[in-house]
Structure 1
Amino acid sequence: MGNWRLGYWGIGILAAALAAAWVWFGEPLRPSAIPPIAAPILAEDVNQHRLNAVPPAPAGERVLEQTFTAQKDGLREIELILARRDEPAAGETGRLTLKLFTPDGRLLAEQTLETRNLRHNQTYVWQIPRQGDSAGQAYILQISGSPDNTVSVWGYDLDAVSSGEFSASQGETAVQDLRFITRYQLGWSSALGHLGQTAVRDGLFFLLALAFLLMPGCLVLLLGLRWVPWDGAAWVGAALAAGTAVWPIVWYLFSLIGGRWTGQMLWLAFLAGWAAVFVLVWRHKRGGMPRNNVAASAQDHTAPSRPCDANTQYAIRNTHHTSRITHHAHWQHIALLLILLVGLGARLLAVRDLNIPPWVDASRHALITAVMTENGRTLQNYAPYLDIDRFPYHFGFHTISASLMLMGNWRLERLLLNLGQFLNALVPLTLYTAVWLMTRRRNAAIIAAFLAAIPFFFPGYYATWGRFTQLTGVLILPVLLAFTWLLARGARHWRRVWWLAALLAGGLFLVHLRVFVFFVPFALVVWLMSWGRRGRYLLATAVGAFLLILPRLLYLQSITEPVKAISYNLPGYNQFPTGYYQAGWDRYFIWLAGLLLLWATWQALRKRPWAMLPLALAAWTLFLLLMLSGDYLGLPSTSLVNLNSLYITLFAPLAIFLGVVLDRLWRRLTGWKRPLPAIGWFAAGAAVALLLIFGVRQQISILNPNTILARPPDLAGLAWLDENLPPNALIAVNSWLWLGATYAGADGGAWIVPLTRRQAATPPADYVYNRQMAAQVNQFNKAAEAITDWSDPVTAVWLRDHGVTHIFVGAKGGFLDPAALSRNPHLSMIYGQDGVFIFKVVAPDA
């Protein structure tokens, strides 16, 4: 039997190698309906996207040149926007030639275009041979043409590229830089080099963050669940979820009694907590665990009254007490570690070109973290950053980020960027824990962890929003689902974990309200599927969680109108996110789950206890979808929760469902007569390889460019602003109408308040909590975006009348055109680097 098993492993490895080779040779015969499994990873390098002028068309001896310095290795593309005055004629014979040189005159690439094929405002992407060592290298882009050429390219009449300049060999032009974007192709050496640099620079932070999150959970498990035999990896995952839930509760209760955290206090609590963990582990090693407790704990959790059988004996042999966690390693543990490391590496590569987290949410979280770091307690107001005297938002994530800020000398934006990706990479660990707790099947747990870490679109896509709070919520959710399931469906001794479920639920409420709301129906579904048994233990959990969050509920009731908040419905806010459904391969996983649901239903009808868990997950999901589809069904709906926030959470039950059912299907397949098991191993090996290749590439390139508001040059501009502008400066920034009636910063200006403590005309979106401030901000931004000519001196007077002293224009930009601002006689440019500009308002008082 052992030889056959080794042979099956060999078949699987051979299939994986063949699948990888198929991808390497260009995926021949791949159906067009299936997206490419692997493709080169391209990303922007130099980005000069502004345009307002066209230089004379290069013709004959007139040549245009733009110099630039690449920032990344692997220069691969140069994008231009063409300009011409008339439509191309059928008999046109003009030619436009692009050449790329090194400063010493060495020609690297050349492309000649027939002008009869070129149109006005056409975007042309020139692909050149990959320049492997391009980082820090200067290049000369030369554009020439035949004597009858009439095609030129767009440019900008303000210097926006500090590392380059534009020149024309003949004729006068106002253009100072071309409108051009360069892209690089990520290579293996660059990727591994970046990961190595990140490990050296931020490795200590990752270790501290992990230890900080684990410490309370380790204490909880060692003190309260000594009787439970554990899989080592599942124990760590449970400790992670518990610790993530405990810290918000500890911060909040400490704040309620008037306490204020400092860095020294947090370090003392951290070190004392780990000292207690080591003492408890030492005592447990000496004390051991009775064998009958192990057997009792290993009962089949899907059938509380089921006697000890062969499956239970398997669980007994393959579980162990906390005192022996490190002594029992299995191949699944090694696989899980590799999955987590690959997932973390891919997520770090996804943000390799960022120094500020993306999107609107990130600047909000930065502001809340900054306020909590300043005050050492959960928020009651936003002093000293903003004049807001209430805080209805959830703060659980921010207790973690603020704690780490107090414990180390980290830059706020870097901490949030790294912490977000680190938490994202840890979600598969809690999914592994949840599946193992509910099934005691490591293979099922590994499948769930692999899917969420690699091929699933979520949770990886959370990075593109900076949606740290919901991400932290879904880190806790799987383990809470597992303990809720065990309360109602597990063996009798699991009744004793109601307090832990209450702790997780209370922490989840403080971390993210929506994820908590999504969880609640699961307890109802499980209770109904158990025919009302164990209801008092679920009720005890609910009461315990309610008591933990009662002070917060009373506070929210005092500063908000709950009925109005629940009944409020923002038009268009509850649309189904079809774009997410179509992204990546997620729809194929959903289709697969639908097919497997039919088989699981058949197995449930045949009284197979394991099938109840997949049916519970499916019923819970369908119930949530139904309850949030009011706009489609003609029923009442609310903007408190919506289909978007639900859909991006459903990867968790989907991963658990697929892990459980695929594991059972695999067990059935491998029990059949030969050669069917060999065919199964071959298909599994190929599928794992293809999912791994596709998933890693997807995770690395998962960011949506439209959500990247603050670009790398913005951080240098913000640092200069912080050092040179007076503390009482009021700074106008680019903005846009983000959600409802809320404006948000459109570029790096969104980060002025949390990073510099200066006031911005458009602060982070929390400004809506102050009605007077919201009215002023909205009125100013509505008027500002209506202005069409910022070179008019009247606009500077208008800014001064509104108290504005400076203007910040980020690299992404918006309605504030720096070229127009530079021509305004009442504005003075005091900073201009790489597309980031700062102006001082010098207009006289009106």
Structure 2
Amino acid sequence: MSRPNPAQRAVVRRLVWAGVVAVGLLALRAGLTEMPEPSAWQVRADRWLPEVSAVRRLEQTFTPERDGLAGMDILVNPAALKPGWTVTVRLAAEADGREVAAVALAATGPPEPTVVRFRFEPQPGSAGRPYRLVVDAGGEELPPGLVAAAGDDPYPEGRLAADGDPIPGSLRFRAYYRPDPGQLLGTAAGALRDIPPVALGVGLWLLPGLGISALLGWPEAPGLLGRAAAGSSFSLAYWPLVYYWAGRLGLPAFQVGLGLGVGLAGTAVVRRGRSFRPPRVAPDPAEGLLLGAVLGLTLLVRLYPLGDLSLTPWVDGPHHALIARKVLEANRVPDSYGPEVETPAFYHFGFHVQAAFLARITGADPAEAVGLAGQLLTAWSAVLAYWLVREWTADPRTGLVGAGLAGLILTFPGYLLSWSRFSLAAGLNLLPAVFLAGREWFRADRAAGVLGILLAGLALTHYRLLAMGGLFLLLLTAFSWKAVGRCPRFGVRLALALGASVLAFPWLISAGGRLLFPAARAVGEAGLKSDPFPWDLVARWPDGPVFLLAVGGLLADAFAYNNAGQRIAEELARGEWPQLGEYGTAYIRLLAGLVYYAFGVSFSGISILWTWLGMVGLLFFYLAFRTAFPLGHHRLYMGLIFLFPSMLLWTSSLGKDALMVLFLGMAAYGAARLRQGLGLPAVAWLALGLLGMLPIRPHLAAVFAVALAASSLILPIRAGLLTPVIRVVGIGAVAAVSVLIV
């Protein structure tokens, strides 16, 4: 049998990519395309209704704030239902009584409280229109303790009633929306009026960073994007340092920082002349279009919810707004955030300085500036990831994959908005520059100075990320020890790095005295007692290693999965198949139950099994790196992928993360082999990884599939008249599918 010729192999390879896109579309059908109502995520159930047995009907009215209402969930207690009972939850439009959706509750589900989710076609024009959520049992009395309720009502003009009589609070429910691309683009068009002041604020904020980058001559050959990325990193470090030292010296921080920034930029123009401007480099149009599409899509998704919010939700949102207001009013980092915020004034103020600066330039309320600054920084992480990966691998195509991961996957839009982790986002945006300067600090004086400045800014922005950056530098130095030993100026460069970072030393000493040392003392005192620290667990085998490795995970979702797995194993032993959801949490519970049913209940054993699966996934990532980049720094990558704190934590306990790392690693390995040439093993690993992701996190499977399809557009192909057309049309198709996914 003759071997296929290159043309036949190209056709088969494109069929494989078409299959990848098909898997992505299947993931879309899983339904994780809705955006949650952010204001509802702060509501916590504090009681169960009805509280008495004479209630026949519960009604909750609410008015959505957005168009495209497409889903609801409600927290119920199936244990309250008796066999044979059926309760119906209906959603109806208040204006005409039209039933939108309904779901029946029966006593066949799991006995613990369960979130019941029902979906329906997006409702056009749902914003401002009242809807009614009805819970009844066909005229019979509702069982007490059936539906969760809360003391607060997050929706405007909402009302809770029992048999028509108003009662305080609201049902615990959440609404979900599915915006179409037209709504996203309409929101973007409506925000055009805010572009001039925001652009002015961003330009003034970026000015000192560009000046520092040009004066230090780092990066050496930046290009336009490299200069902007490095300048933003320097500005992220510059403004917290200025506000901190202005507070210590009693100076107006904004005026001092802006004047010093203008001076730095002017000096750079005078001293370096034309070298202040990056050299002109003709970029690949396809790469520029793809990076622009990723950044634009990320901005659309992240800025879209801000129009309906006066305050970013979750517990950190009010704190961010109050701290930013304090910084804005004091024009420096104040001595205290009290009495509104009990957090000490030295804690994580780097992001709040950026938000206060934006509020002063644009005239926006500090609460609005917090959301805008946070989402802009989070979206910019896509560009910084592209810069980092491109410089590290010398491969722009791999940089585009990094941009897609950072912008659309690793910082999932709903997560960072709902949790308001903007201080973390600001710190993460500093890490790419820290990594790039860290890989050459012992070879070049300017890189050592740059590293010190960036580490000083990182300390004021998020000191936990400073610890991660320090771990990276130690690993890099250890794996490059032979090269370090050949550097005659190693001591001088170490002194330069420490000397530049001395700007943050007073703060580090203050933070250590106020937080680190008291916390260490409290942990030590607690460790001498049997309660609360479980020293007996640490000393017992095999529970001890599991506890030490996954203490964070074991104290969170792992216990819930363990309990659910035991219950499912008992049901399987009775010959009953458990009633569970389609994917996600329910899938992990089922797997835990199957393991317990087959091998017996052992929390330590299943934790070790999941940890082992997570480690296998990391091995697949390492194999993918070696396959895709044969000349890459394999030892450094191995140290990072196996020892990075986040990878250690989240892959070391019973949960979704270990399995997701396993299947993502398989898919990455298959994709790496597919780039080297078509073969059955490559397709098998890719298909197995994608199919394994589908029941756990289908949205990640969808984005992974689209990212692979996008990467096929930038692979080298035979030049021809239609090559640019193929690339542009393909990029447009990928962007359209990405909009649908997000």
| TM class, shorter-length | 0.5 to 0.7
SS of corresponding position for 2:552: coil
Segments of 5+ residues of structure 1 without an aligned counterpart are: 28-34, 286-320, 630-642, 700-846
1:378 matched residue in structure 2: 333
Please point out which of 222, 227, 234 is paired with 2:226. Answer: 234
Q: Does 2:455 correspond to 1:505?
A: yes
Q: Do the aligned partners of 1:455 and 1:696 also contact (CA within 8 Å) in 2?
A: no
User: Is the contact between residue 43 and residue 184 of structure 1 (CA under 8 Å) also seen in structure 2?
Assistant: yes
Q: 1:551 to 1:677 in 2, by over 3 A?
A: same
Q: Does residue 446 of structure 2 align to residue 496 of structure 1?
A: yes
Shift of 1:340: 2.1
Is 1:440 the counterpart of 2:394? The answer is yes
Partner of 2:553: 577
Q: Relative to total residues, which structure has the larger helix share, 1 or 2?
A: 2
Q: Name the Cα RMSD after superposition.
A: 5.6
Indicate conservation of the 8 Å contact 1:381/1:391, yes or no. yes
Q: Taking structure 1 as reference, are residues 537 and 340 closer, same or farther at Cα in structure 2, changes over 3 Å only?
A: farther
- Contact 1:82-1:124 within 8 A present in 2 as well: yes
Give the structure 2 partner of residue 150 of structure 1. 141
How far apart are residue 514 of structure 1 and its match? 1.5
Supply the distance in 2 between the matched residues of 1:452 and 1:597 (Cα, whole angstroms).
19
C-alpha change, 1:436 and 1:144, in structure 2 (3 Å) is closer
- 1:196 positional shift: 2.0
**Alpha-carbon distance between aligned partners in 2 of 1:516 and 1:592, rounded to the nearest angstrom:** 27
1:339 to 286, 294, 311: 294
Which of 444, 449, 470 is the matching residue for 2:403?
449
Aligned counterparts, 1:110-509, within 5 A: 130-139=122-131, 149-151=140-142, 163=157, 173=165, 175=167, 179=171, 181=173, 183-189=175-181, 191-192=183-184, 195-196=187-188, 199-200=191-192, 203-204=195-196, 206-208=198-200, 210-225=202-217, 228-262=220-254, 283-284=274-275, 322-324=278-280, 327-349=282-304, 354-382=309-337, 391-456=345-410, 461-488=415-442, 494-509=444-459
Render the CA deviation track for 1:524-583: whole Å, top value 9, x for unaligned: 3323333242332551343223432233345446x5386444454376798233779998
* Amino acid corresponding to residue 553 of structure 2 in structure 1: P
Q: 1:272 to 1:162 in 2, by over 3 A?
A: same
Amino acid at match of 2:360: L
- Using a 3 Å threshold, how does the CA distance of structure 1 residues 346 and 693 change in structure 2: closer, same or farther? farther
Call closer, same or farther: CA 1:397–1:115 in 2, change over 3 Å.
closer
Query: Across the two proteins, how many residue pairs are aligned to each other?
Result: 603
The C-alpha deviation readout for 1:21-75, integer Å capped at 9, x for no partner, is 4554x46xxxxxxx976534163599797756569555xxxx8876544433234
Question: Secondary structure at 1:611's aligned position in 2?
Answer: coil
Is the CA contact 2:207–2:262 (under 8 Å) kept in the aligned structure 1? no
Residue 711 of structure 1 is matched in structure 2 by: none
**Counterparts of 2:53 and 2:186, CA distance in 1:** 39
CA change 1:10–1:216 in 2 (3 A) is: farther
**How many Å separate the matches in 2 of 1:208 and 1:23?**
40
Comparing 469-478 with 250-259, greater Cα deviation is found at 250-259
Change (3 A) 1:270 1:486: closer
| SS, match of residue 100 in structure 1 | strand
Please report how far the alpha carbon of residue 84 of structure 1 lies from its aligned counterpart in structure 2 after TM superposition: 12
- The aligned runs of 1:24-39 (5 Å cut-off) are 24=25, 26=26, 39=32
Q: Is the contact between residue 392 and residue 556 of structure 1 (CA under 8 Å) also seen in structure 2?
A: yes
Structure 1 residue identity aligned to 2:302: R
Mapped contact 1:597–1:615 kept (Cα < 8 A):
no
Deviation at 1:485, TM superposition (A): 0.8
What's 1:522 paired with? 472
Kept in 2, the 8 Å contact 1:436–1:444? The answer is yes
CA distance in 2, matches of 1:379, 1:72: 38
Q: Distance in 2 between matches of 1:45 and 1:516?
A: 30
- Partner of 1:418, secondary structure, is helix
Following the alignment from structure 1 to structure 2, what is the Cα–Cα distance between the partners of residues 78 and 433?
40
- Structure 1 letter corresponding to 2:620: L
Decide whether the 8 Å contact of 1:75 with 1:182 is kept in 2.
no
Are positions 1:611 and 2:632 aligned together?
Answer: yes
Q: SS at 1:133's partner residue?
A: coil
Distance change >3 Å, CA 172–CA 580, structure 1 → 2: closer
Contact 1:97–1:143 (8 Å) recurs in 2: yes
In 2, are the aligned partners of 1:242 and 1:504 still within 8 Å (CA)? yes
SS state of the match for residue 454, structure 1? helix
Mapped to 1, the partners of 2:97 and 2:628 lie a distance apart of 70
1:53·1:175 contact (CA, 8 Å) conserved in 2? Answer: no
Distance, in Å, in 2 between the alignment partners of 1:498 and 1:85 is: 63
Superposed displacement of residue 284, structure 1: 3.1
Cα distance per residue 1:296-341 (max 9 Å; x no partner): xxxxxxxxxxxxxxxxxxxxxxxxx81325x545532332222222
The answer to whether the 8 A contact 2:75-2:114 is kept is yes
**Deviation by residue 1:346-379 (Cα, 9 ceiling, x = unmatched):** 3335767644223434444333322221221233
Asked whether the equivalents of residues 339 and 453 of structure 1 are also in contact (C-alpha less than 8 Å), the reply is yes
The 5 Å alignment of 1:583-602 reads 591-597=616-622
- Tell me the distance in 2 between the aligned counterparts of 1:663 and 1:213: 41
Letter in 2 for 1:72: R
Post-superposition shift, 1:393?
2.2
Q: How many Å separate the matches in 2 of 1:232 and 1:600?
A: 28
Secondary structure of the residue aligned to 1:577 is helix
- Cα distance, 1:537–1:617 mapped onto 2, change above 3 Å: farther
Partner secondary structure for residue 357 of structure 1: coil
Question: Which amino acid letter does the alignment assign opposite residue 575 of structure 1?
Answer: V
CA distance change for structure 1 residues 276 and 56 in 2, over 3 Å: closer, same or farther? farther
Match of 1:72 among 66, 69, 86: 66
In 1: Cα distance, 2:468 partner to 2:353 partner: 22
Asked if the contact 1:340–1:453 (Cα under 8 Å) also holds between the matched residues in 2, the reply is yes
**TM-score normalised to the size of structure 2?**
0.64
Amino acid at match of 1:536: G
Letter in 1 for 2:274: R
Q: What is the identity percentage for the equivalent residue pairs of Structure 1 and Structure 2?
A: 20
Letter of the structure 2 residue corresponding to residue 71 of structure 1:
E
1:190 to 1:72, Cα distance in 2 relative to 1, 3 A: farther
Comparing 510-519 with 585-594, greater Cα deviation is found at: 585-594
Which residues of 2 match residues 654-803 of structure 1 at below 5 A? Answer: 694-695=699-700
Instruction: Tell me, yes or no, if the aligned pair for 2:445 and 2:496 is still in contact at 8 Å.
Output: no
1:315 — aligned with what?
none
Aligned equivalents of 1:344 and 1:513: distance in 2? 27
Report the TM-score, using the length of structure 1 for normalisation.
0.57
Q: 1:114 to 1:566 in 2, by over 3 A?
A: closer
Q: What code does the residue aligned with 2:619 have?
A: G
Distance 1:460 1:5 in 2: 44
Q: Which has the larger radius of gyration?
A: 1
Tell me, in whole angstroms, the C-alpha distance in 2 between the residues paired with 1:143 and 1:338.
Answer: 44
Alpha-carbon shift at residue 467 of structure 1 (Å): 2.6
Contact 2:60 2:134 (8 Å CA) reproduced = yes
Cα distance between partner residues in 1 of 2:289 and 2:228 = 14
Unaligned runs of 5+ in 2: 527-531, 534-547, 562-583, 589-609, 705-742
8 Å CA contact 1:66–1:177 kept in 2: the answer is no
